[in-house]
Amino acid sequence: MSPKRILIISTPVGPLGSGEGGGVELTLHSLVLGLTGRGHHVEVLAPERSLHVGTVVHQTHGTLQPTAHTAHRDTPVIIPPDGVLAAMCEWARANQEHFDVILNLAYDWLPLYLTPYFAITPLAHLVSMATLSETMDDVIERAAALRPRNVAMHSQAQADTFPTLAHSVPIIASGIAVERYDLHITADEPRHLGFIGRISPEKGLADVVAVAAATGLPLKVWGLMQDQATWDAAIAAHPEAQVSYEGFLPTDDLQAAIGGCAAVVMAPKWVEAFGNVAIEAMATGVPVIAYRRGGPAEIVVDGETGFLVEPDDIDGLIAAVGRIDELDRVECRQRVEEEYSIEALAARVDRWLDVVIECHRSSWSSESA
Ligand code: HBI
């Protein structure tokens, strides 16, 4: 397979390295490393002041896009003045002939709407979240209808939230640079639980704090303090819980910090598209206890690399914490090495992009002739 020239459009909500982009930043970094490792030439379009991710990053000026993850069903799309997203799309349009494929990671209306307008080079989308609003559903389903191969998702649970696409979109599980994560064969003493993720309503922090209160185990929390009210409410609801905020750490520091946890607990209130934090925890040997909701339910092997609990069943989470010693920390690491490495991710994406390019050349390029 010949080397491809790939342009990746990053999330417009914040510069790479800020954490505002959440899991997409990690996915982008893994894609750059993995695809470059397969001999492809990768360039990145991202908001200005983005950190370099091991390849050419086109720093784009403009107003950051408001986040979509707090959208409601009827939330309209916002196009800010002098928007960075529009500038990134314009750069991609003007330079498309220098690439074989453009891979968009932004969960935003504009790049999805422009899908059929890219006639020379195909514009493909790895959708990073489940359904959020009617407008975004419409534009995602329209892109997939007009370019059936160009829209992919991270989990079947995520795809299932888009009824017209659930059985047609390719599912591409994410991956991480496993070698950056050190395996901790045993949990640190005193035993403690971990929560990793943006401090935001949809992540279910309050449920995890309730588990810490009920079990008496200390809870360490890592992640961007995106919504202070979410934090305050969780702590206020369980003043007896021992909870410490450990900050938002870059990957190398995060992996060193989380490796001592007895388990990481995920209590998503929304359909988590994938759940990068689950594979990060498992890469350090830490098992994951999660609601059977969204991507984590397709990552955790119940009873082997963690436990899956009925959604919103806090007592179920508490019971699972009592069974942690049944789990094998080495098994957690091995599953990430086998299924969720950047090599595995890059192979999945490479195969998908080959199909996107082939379909474009055989069916759509004639349209522009
Ligand atoms: N909001 N508008 C917008 N665009 C994104 O790409 C986006 C977002 N909110 C969150 C987000 N991406 C990432 O945290 C995903 O990994 C969830």
Instruction: List residues bridging with 190 in a β-sheet.
Output: none
**Nearest residue to 267 (alpha-carbon basis) of 306, 304, 228:** 306
Q: Which two tokens stand for residue 161?
A: 């939230």
How far is the centre of ligand 1, averaged over its atoms, from the C-alpha of 207 (Å)? Answer: 23
How far is the centre of ligand 1, averaged over its atoms, from the C-alpha of 127 (Å)? Answer: 10
How far is the centre of ligand 1, averaged over its atoms, from the C-alpha of 66 (Å)? Answer: 9
How far is the centre of ligand 1, averaged over its atoms, from the C-alpha of 128 (Å)? Answer: 7
| DSSP code of residue 302 | B
- Shortest-distance atom of ligand 1 to CA 27: 16
* Dihedral angle of Cα 276, 277, 282, 286, to the nearest 10 degrees: -170
Q: Helix, strand or coil for residue 296?
A: helix
* HEC readout, 85-150: HHHHHHHHHHHHHHCCEEEECCCCHHHHHCHHHCCCCCEEEEECCCCCCHHHHHHHHHHHHHCCCC
Q: Can you list the pairs that 161-168 forms with residues at least 24 positions away whose Cβ atoms lie under 8 Å? A: 161/130, 161/131, 161/271, 162/130, 162/131, 162/137, 165/140, 165/141, 168/144
Query: What is the residue with the minimal CA distance to atom 4 of ligand 1?
Result: 107
Q: What is the pLDDT tens value at each position of the chain, 369 positions in all?
A: 689 999 999 999 999 998 887 789 989 999 999 999 999 999 999 999 999 888 999 999 999 999 998 889 999 999 999 999 999 999 999 999 999 999 999 999 999 999 999 999 999 999 999 999 999 999 999 999 999 999 999 999 999 999 899 899 999 999 999 999 999 999 999 999 999 999 999 999 999 999 999 999 999 999 999 999 999 999 999 999 999 999 999 889 999 999 999 999 999 999 999 999 999 999 999 999 999 999 999 999 999 999 999 999 999 999 999 999 999 999 999 999 999 999 999 999 999 999 999 999 998 655 554
- As for ligand 1, residues whose beta carbon falls within 6 Å of it are 11-13, 21-24, 65, 67-69, 106-108, 128-129
Residue 273: how many CB atoms within 10 A of its CB?
26
Query: What's the chain's Rg over C-alpha atoms?
Result: 20
Q: Cα–Cα distance between 195 and 41 in angstroms, integer?
A: 36
Query: What is the residue with the minimal CA distance to atom 7 of ligand 1?
Result: 107
Q: Which two tokens stand for residue 37?
A: 């490792």
Q: Which two tokens stand for residue 126?
A: 């790895």
How much is the pLDDT for 1? 66
Total length of the chain: 369
Instruction: List residues bridging with 9 in a β-sheet.
Output: 45, 104
| Domains by residue range for the chain, with CATH | 5-175+341-368 (3.40.50.2000), 180-339 (3.40.50.2000)
- Ligand 1 pocket: which of 107, 161, 270 to mutate (most atoms within 8 A of CB): 107
DSSP calls for 11-25? -TTS-TTSSTTTHHH
How much is the pLDDT for 366? 56
- Shortest-distance atom of ligand 1 to CA 65: 2
Residue 222: how many CB atoms within 10 A of its CB?
23
Handedness of CA 287, 69, 249, 269 (dihedral sign): negative
Q: Helix, strand or coil for residue 320?
A: helix
Q: Cα–Cα distance between 44 and 63 in angstroms, integer?
A: 18
Task: Report yes or no: 40 and 6 within 8 Å, Cβ to Cβ.
Answer: yes
Task: Report yes or no: 32 and 43 within 8 Å, Cβ to Cβ.
Answer: no
Query: What is the residue with the minimal CA distance to atom 12 of ligand 1?
Result: 21
CA 173 to chain centre: 10
- Ligand 1 pocket: which of 20, 24, 269 to mutate (most atoms within 8 A of CB): 24
How far is the centre of ligand 1, averaged over its atoms, from the C-alpha of 107 (Å)? Answer: 6
| DSSP code of residue 292 | S
Q: Which two tokens stand for residue 157?
A: 């649970």
How far is the centre of ligand 1, averaged over its atoms, from the C-alpha of 213 (Å)? Answer: 31
- Ligand 1 pocket: which of 69, 153, 158, 174 to mutate (most atoms within 8 A of CB): 69
How far is the centre of ligand 1, averaged over its atoms, from the C-alpha of 65 (Å)? Answer: 9
- Ligand 1 pocket: which of 27, 126, 128 to mutate (most atoms within 8 A of CB): 128
How far is the centre of ligand 1, averaged over its atoms, from the C-alpha of 123 (Å)? Answer: 18
> Rounded to whole angstroms, what are the CA distances from 172 to 56, 250, 287, 308?
24, 24, 22, 21
Handedness of CA 15, 19, 22, 23 (dihedral sign): positive
